Every structure is written in C-alpha cells, then in structure tokens.
Amino acid sequence: MNRIFVRFSLLVMLAVTVASFVIYFVISNLFGDPFEEIALKQASGQIFLLEQYVDKAPADEWLQRLNKVREISRVKFELIPLKAALPLLPAKKEASLMRGEVVLDAADKSFFRRVDLAGDKYIGSEEEVIHAEDLPIDVGLAVKVELVRYVIVALFLLIPVAVWSSLHWRGLQSLSKVARDFGEGNLSARATTKKTSSIYPLAERMNQMAARIESLLEAQKNLMHSVSHELRTPVARLEFGLELLRQDVKKTADGSAAEARMQAMEADLIELNMLVKELLSLTRLDQQQENRHTQFSLAEALHDCVGIMDHALSGKLLKTDIGAGIGLMAGDPRLISRAVTNLMMNAAKYASHQLVLSAHRLADGAVEVIVEDDGPGIPVEERERIFDPFYRLDRSRDRATGGFGLGLAIAQKAALLHGGNIHVAESSLGGARFVMRLPSGL
C-alpha cells in the first residue's frame, strides 16, 4: 500500500466526517433539525388523534375520549402537572409549550402538550400537560441513510485519489531507486519517467544532475590519468639521466659530459614545473565560481597581448584589426588576456605565414575576439575535443610543436567564467579560426 494513499484516505475520511457535522449544524440552524422533522412525521398519527379526535370532543367528554384513545393505542398518554413537565424540556422549548404547541422529544420518543390554556376541559386542566410516550419514532434509519450517503461519497473521492497516488507513488519509487543506484556507484543510472507524469520535471532535473556528476567524474578521471601519463616521461628521463650521470662520474673524471647531462635534466625539470603551473592554474579556474569584476578597455588589453607575442612569432606576420569603438568591458582583464594569448600562441605555432587578431562589438552588446591563421586548421570531428585538458591532435604529440594541451582548456574556462564561450571554425586564410564571444558584462 502506498503511503500517499494511506495519508490521503485518512484525510478524506476526516474531511467527510467534519463536513457531515458542519452540514447538520448549518441545516439545523437555517431550516430546523432535519431529524426532528422526520420524528414529527412519524408521530403525526398520534398528534392527529389528539387534535382531531380528543380535542374535538365537547369539553365534558374530553377525558372520556382520551381514555378511549389510551385503550386502543400502544402509546402511553399520561397527564402530568405543568410544573413537573417544564423541567423535562429544553429551556428554548418552554415557551412553545406554554403557547399550547406540541413539543417533541425525538430522542425520548415522546411529546408534551398542555391539555388546554383556559382550563375548560376539567377543573385545573390548564395546569396539566399531556405526556405521550413510546411514540412510533425511529430516526435510526434516517441516520443510517445519511451515513451510507457520506460513506459512498468518501469512497468515490478515494477512487481518483487511489489512481493518481498509485501513479505518483510508482514514479517516486522509481526515482528513489535511481537515486539509490546512483549513490551506490552506478553513474549511468537515469530515471525513465513518462513526459505526462507529474514528477517528470523532477526526474528531468535529477537526470541532468546525474549527467553532470557523471561527466565531471569522468573528466576528473581522465585528467588524473593524463597527468600521470604526462609526468611519467620527464620523470623517467630524469631518472635515466641521473643514472648515466652517476656512471659517468664513476668512470671518468671528466666534468664536461656530466655538465651537459645536468643541463638536459634541468630543462626537463623546467618542463615539469611548467606543466605543474599550467595544471594548477586550470584547477584554480575550475574552482573559481565568479570572477572579480573590474571595468577595463578591451582594445588596450588586446594590444598588450599583441605586445608580448613578438618573441613567439618567429618571423610570421601578425595582423590586427581591433575596432576603435570597442569600448569597455567588465570582468577579469588578466583572465581575458590569458585566454587571448593562449589562442595567439597556438596560431603563431601552427600558422604557415600569418595570423590575424580581430575584435568587434556585436549588435547585442557582446564582443567577439577572433584569432585565425593560415595553418593546417582543425578537422571538424576534433573541434570540440581540442578544448579538453591534455587533448592534442596527433600531429602535435611531438613535444617540438606541442605544449601540454592545456592552453585551450584554460582559454575556454576563462570565457565560461565571463558568461561567454569559444568555438572553432575554418578561417578564410585556410587555417583555424577561434572565436571567443564575451557578453559585455557591464
């Protein structure tokens, strides 16, 4: 049994019970007690007998007729003093009795009525009350009918609740199973909730969350794998170099060969340090939630980037086309410069003869910074993956041309932190065209 249904049933039962009491209370106040109406109808034969037969008798025969009625009727008709009758009635009915009306007591199956108001039936008759007991009154049936009515209404309310809650419950169960599986390490567990289900949006969110966690963990795993892989080569070379150095020093007393090897080892150490630095800055960007916002002139920042490119161009031509009115933008100028420099370093590395840096403002206020070159370009199927950390195209596996494969990952992170993005396409120059789009952030 699903818990939602149990709770709903209890609530429905409670609500119907409260509703039936409220209905009885309101109707009694507005139109009079419905059960008393029923009781009055059931006692109407006896009242008719009293009013139409006994009361219609001439004054001196009134008692005789009453006695006759007593003989044939199963109802007990007794004469009691008015003073004794009044305490037996609810206070609000006393006035009706005094006016000579029939006062019914449905629960006691009896009624009271004054013999007369003027005392003309017999001596002292105005001080007497006729008390009829054992009237054929039975409101039990009416109560049962009402009860059955409310129970049926309650049951019919519960049917849609049962259907709805069982669908809901099954959906929740399957979501909780997915959450459990995922928690136990099955990262590919996903909810398969139907689009029409009321919990579909929740399932959707959960799936998005699961997909994100899975991809983050996957990226983490790949990163760790690549890091160890990349660190292995220089470390192995260092170890090998050290071994040779030790042998050299043992065999010969010649210091120059040892010196050369030590220089090579130093170069390896520098490479190792560079890798660690790049890696650290990438992980730092990963952890950074928001960038420190300052306003800066984008044109100035881009010209500064061009300024530090000189040594990396190695004879290639660098053209710039930076719109004069490109204006200010808000963000972290160091991060933006870093991203642009990384793109330009790549372009300088892979260009055959020339590279171009251009920037302009779009109609929606965003800025596009474009770096393109006339190099080999990037095959369509690699255009997403090159932004992954450590990912390099085959041709750049060779250390002579490639770095560690972190430059584009860092540039991408910097753009994302500014609410922008980078994508790569083909340049009209023949090589790659990297487009960094940044919202102005102002």
Ligand X SMILES: Nc1ncnc2c1ncn2[C@@H]1O[C@H](COP(=O)(O)OP(=O)(O)O)[C@@H](O)[C@H]1O
Q: State the residues that interact with Mg ion by CB under 5 A.
A: 346, 403, 407
Q: Determine the residue with CB nearest Mg ion.
A: 407
Binding residue for ligand X, selected from 393, 419, 437, 439, defined by CB under 6 A: 393
Contact 128, 100 (CB under 8 A): no
Q: Does 375 bind ligand X (CB under 6 A)?
A: yes
Q: Which residues have C-beta within 8 Å of that of residue 153, sequence separation ≥ 6?
A: 16
Q: Does 178 bind ligand X (CB under 6 A)?
A: no
Residue (128 or 372) nearer to ligand X, CB? 372
422-441 positions binding ligand X, by CB under 6 A: 431-432
Using CB under 6 A, which of the segments 37-45, 153-161, 243-251, 346-354 binds ligand X? 346-354
17-46 positions binding ligand X, by CB under 6 A: none
| Least CB distance to ligand X at residue 173 (A) | 46
Report the alpha-carbon angle 236-239-243, nearest 5.
140
Partner from Mg ion, ligand X, none binding residue 392, C-beta < 5-8 Å depending on class: ligand X
Torsion angle of the four alpha carbons 381, 387, 388, 392, in this order, in degrees rounded to the nearest 10: 70
Partner from Mg ion, ligand X, none binding residue 378, C-beta < 5-8 Å depending on class: ligand X
Q: Does 346 bind ligand X (CB under 6 A)?
A: yes
Residue (9 or 412) nearer to ligand X, CB? 412
Partner from ligand X, Mg ion, none binding residue 405, C-beta < 5-8 Å depending on class: ligand X
Binding residue for ligand X, selected from 323, 327, 376, 419, defined by CB under 6 A: 376
Q: Does 374 bind ligand X (CB under 6 A)?
A: no
Q: Does 348 bind ligand X (CB under 6 A)?
A: no
Q: Does 386 bind ligand X (CB under 6 A)?
A: yes
Closest Cα partner for 216 from 152, 287, 271, 132? Answer: 287
Residue (346 or 427) nearer to Mg ion, CB? 346
The Cα 80–Cα 162 span in angstroms is 59
Positions that interact with ligand X (CB under 6 A): 342, 346-347, 350, 373, 375-376, 378, 386, 392-393, 396, 402-409, 431-432
